[in-house]
Amino acid sequence: MAEGGAAEWQSEAVINVDVAMGDRSYRVLVGAGVRHELASLLPPGVRRVAVVTQDGIGIDVDPGVPFDRFVIGDGERHKTLATLGGLCSGFARHGLTRADCVVGVGGGVVTDVAGFAAATYHRGVPVVHVATSLLGQIDAAIGGKTGVNLPEGKNLVGAYWQPSGVICDIETLATLPPRQYRSGLGELAKYHWLGGGRLDDLPIDERVAACVRIKAGVVAGDERESGRRAVLNYGHTLGHAIETAGDYGLLHGEAVAVGLVFAAELARRLGRIDDAAVAEHRRVVGGYDLPSTIPAGLADDELIELFARDKKATSGTTFVLDGPGGVEVVRDVPDDLIRDALAACR
């Protein structure tokens, strides 16, 4: 058993990581072709499956039982309560019961929406995720956080609903457009400061497994983000604010990459890290060919207002920042330092 509740073993080029959640523990399979193991992750007795996906995914799965296919729109603009309602109505029309299962096949939007639909339909049915994007494999599909966006902010409505299993088939990454893959690297970059170290030196399956292992350990100790789990939002406070402010042409991982550099600049101004640590943040982000500057036209006042709406902000303006003891939540950050750090990212 690895530290933090994640067990792992390697067999026939499949890396298995157990997310230790007591009687809700589940397996994550990482490797080439592991989507064909979907039937083995369904809960016992499942008679029917609702496959939730998007038209552009292009990945077929066989759950080994009869299934219906439900297609949602592509992109964050479809991650809404309206999409959730449409899915649940579709489940009802097709006779999905509590003895059945939802399977989300796609990236982070699909797993977030499919997971939330599973959490709420009949007050909870099982869900298994087949994560087809890098972002989904290393973050969105792991840990049980589900939800949709409101006009006021990202992921403001949702539920904690652990999946019955997760599949991270690295073959599906070859289907991603280069920019979508690079966006996933923005989410991967945060793990460099959460115990991952030099992840850029590992082959892709081991990189994915390392990120899953880190997230599994954090989630096992803090499922509902009452403490340490907030560190998984490293880089996301500014990243989510950019996404909420409007269409500035950045994908999620690209916005997070900018957020990582901003977080380092802010931590430096608070005396938590030195110039060398800031330079390392910029090296990692730049090494993945990701942006590090705030889009033109986004005013400080607008961003600071959005920071105050962030779901971590229970006491003053709150950020996840690096420091002597590692990445942690820091509250009541002064506005003048925030503005100075924002200027360093212009």
pLDDT in tens, 268-322: 999 999 999 999 999 999 999 999 999 999 999 999 999 988 766 566 789 999 9
123 is catalytic: yes
Please tell me the distance from the alpha carbon of residue 318 to that of residue 265, in angstroms, as a whole number: 15
pLDDT more than 70, % of the chain: 95
pLDDT at 201 (0 to 100) = 86
Burial class of residue 299 (count of CB atoms within 10 Å of its CB; 0-12, 13-18, 19+) = exposed
Query: What are the chain's domains?
Result: 6-221 (3.40.50.1970), 234-343 (1.20.1090.10)
215 is catalytic: yes
Burial class of residue 289 (count of CB atoms within 10 Å of its CB; 0-12, 13-18, 19+) = exposed
145 is catalytic: yes
Contact 288, 243 (CB under 8 A): no
Q: Binning pLDDT at 50, 70 and 90, where does residue 7 land?
A: very low
What pLDDT, in 10s, does the model give residues 114-168? 999 999 999 999 999 999 999 999 999 999 999 999 998 889 999 999 999 999 9
Active-site position among 207, 236, 268, 311 = 236
Active-site position among 129, 190, 192, 240 = 240
Q: Binning pLDDT at 50, 70 and 90, where does residue 1 land?
A: very low
pLDDT at 5 (0 to 100) = 46
Please tell me the distance from the alpha carbon of residue 93 to that of residue 90, in angstroms, as a whole number: 5
305 is catalytic: no
- From residue 36, alpha-carbon distances to 14, 66, 84, 162, 246 in Å are 12, 16, 27, 21, 39
236 is catalytic: yes
What pLDDT, in 10s, does the model give residues 103-115? 999 999 999 999 9
Q: Binning pLDDT at 50, 70 and 90, where does residue 11 land?
A: very low
Residue 4 above 50 pLDDT? no
What is the reported pTM? 0.89
Is the Cα dihedral 139, 145, 150, 153 positive or negative?
negative
